[in-house]
Amino acid sequence: MTTDAPDPLRIDFHLLDRQIVDLDGYLVGKADDIELGVTDDGRPFVAALLVGHHALGTRIGGALGRWMTAVARRMHTTGDPKPLRIPYERIAEIGSAIRLDVRHELLDTPALELWLSDHVIGRIPGATDAGQ
C-alpha cells in the first residue's frame, strides 16, 4: 500500500535540512545533523539538532565532507569546533520550518558566524558602529 503522506519514522525527512527559527522568527540556521540518544531500555530517541559546517560535513562524508569539516576547523580559532547543539526539548513546532521555544540570543553563536564577524565584518570600515 502506498500513500502520499510522509513516513512518521523518517527522521531525516522531518528534521534534516529544514530551517530553524527562534521564538521571534529569527533564522538560527538549518538542521545539518541529528544527535541520537538511547533510553535505559535501549530505545533510540532524538536528543538534539546539530547546526553548522562541521555537523554537515560529518553527515555528508567523503571528500566533500572532509573538506567541509576542514574548513570548519580552520575557521574555528580555539580547539576542535563543535556544532551548535539545540536540545530537542527546545523544539516547539515542526512544520516547513523548525520553530524553537527560545530566542536565538540564548543559543551559542556558530563558529562560522564568529569567524566571519572577527575576520571579515570586523575589518569593514565603520562595521563597529553598524549596530548603533
For the chain (length 132 residues), average pLDDT per consecutive 10?
56 83 89 91 91 77 80 69 87 92 78 62 64 50
Q: Is the CATH number of domain 15-120 2.30.30.240?
A: yes
pTM for this prediction: 0.69
So what's the pLDDT on residue 110?
Answer: 62
In the chain, where are the structural domains located?
15-120
Q: How far apart are CA 45 and CA 97, in angstroms?
A: 20
So what's the pLDDT on residue 58?
Answer: 76
CA nearest 49: which of 110, 117, 116?
110
The torsion angle over the Cα atoms of residues 14, 15, 17 and 20, rounded to 10 degrees, is 120
